[in-house]
Amino acid sequence: MKIAVIQGPNLNMLGIREQHIYGPMSLEQIHDQMKTSAEQNGVELEFFQSNLEGEIVDRIQESLGTVDGILINPAAFSHTSIAIKDALSAVNLPTVEVHISNIYKREEFRQKSITAAASTGVITGFGPFGYHLGLISLSQIVSEMKAVENAQTEASQNG
Ligand code: DQA
């Protein structure tokens, strides 16, 4: 199973930016931890971070046919980007949106996620551990989908 991990703007600044909100871990440290737990569960991860909306749209489009699911923190674009929401809807892959902070506890402009409407589920407010929770949830969803697909293929082969 392959999962694309897509990180939005300013997440490359984790560990430096607003530590009282996002904590001390860098993005690299978060990704290293995810890699370790993914390997233990036979999951392959492809990491991508960009500060540019169009690059994120491109990366989502490239996910079609190359990965089984998307774990995404669109960061500030969550609250503004119809283009990212549309790209997620277009590829229609199992998707989990993660936010490190609890967006519902913050400024009003962060309390709505446009992109969340295109995701299977959202994890918000658990700090970097949210990525781990997201990975577990997404792996489970993808495994269940694959099991259903296999059962359907088998049933059609058996006439
Ligand atoms: C964030 C929340 C967003 O509002 C913010 O713009 C971010 C990070 C989070 O992970 O908590 O950059 O997505």
Per-domain residue ranges of the chain:
2-158
Alpha carbon of 103 to ligand 1 centroid (Å):
7
Active site residues: 22, 99
Please check the confidence at residue 68 and state whether its pLDDT lies above 90.
yes
Tell me which residue has its CA closest to atom 6 in ligand 1: 76
pLDDT tens by residue, 132-145: 999 999 999 999 99
Please check the confidence at residue 16 and state whether its pLDDT lies above 90.
yes
- Residue range 90-114: average pLDDT? 98
Q: What's the CATH fold of domain 2-158? A: Rossmann fold (3.40.50)
| β-bridge partners, 72 | 6, 97
* Stretch among 14-23, 82-91, 148-157 having the lowest mean pLDDT: 148-157
Please check the confidence at residue 67 and state whether its pLDDT lies above 80.
yes
Please check the confidence at residue 159 and state whether its pLDDT lies above 90.
no
| Helix, strand, coil distribution of the chain in percent, nearest 5 | 55, 15, 30
Pick the residue with more confidence: 117 or 159? Answer: 117
Q: In this structure, what DSSP letter does residue 112 have? A: -
Res 158: pLDDT: 85
**What atom in ligand 1 is closest to the CA of residue 76?**
6
Alpha carbon of 98 to ligand 1 centroid (Å):
9
- Residue range 71-76: average pLDDT? 98
Res 10: pLDDT: 98
**Other C-beta atoms lying within 10 Å of the C-beta of residue 17:** 11
Task: Give residues with Cβ within 8 angstroms of 72, minimum separation 6.
Answer: 5, 6, 7, 8, 60, 88, 95, 96, 97, 98, 115, 119
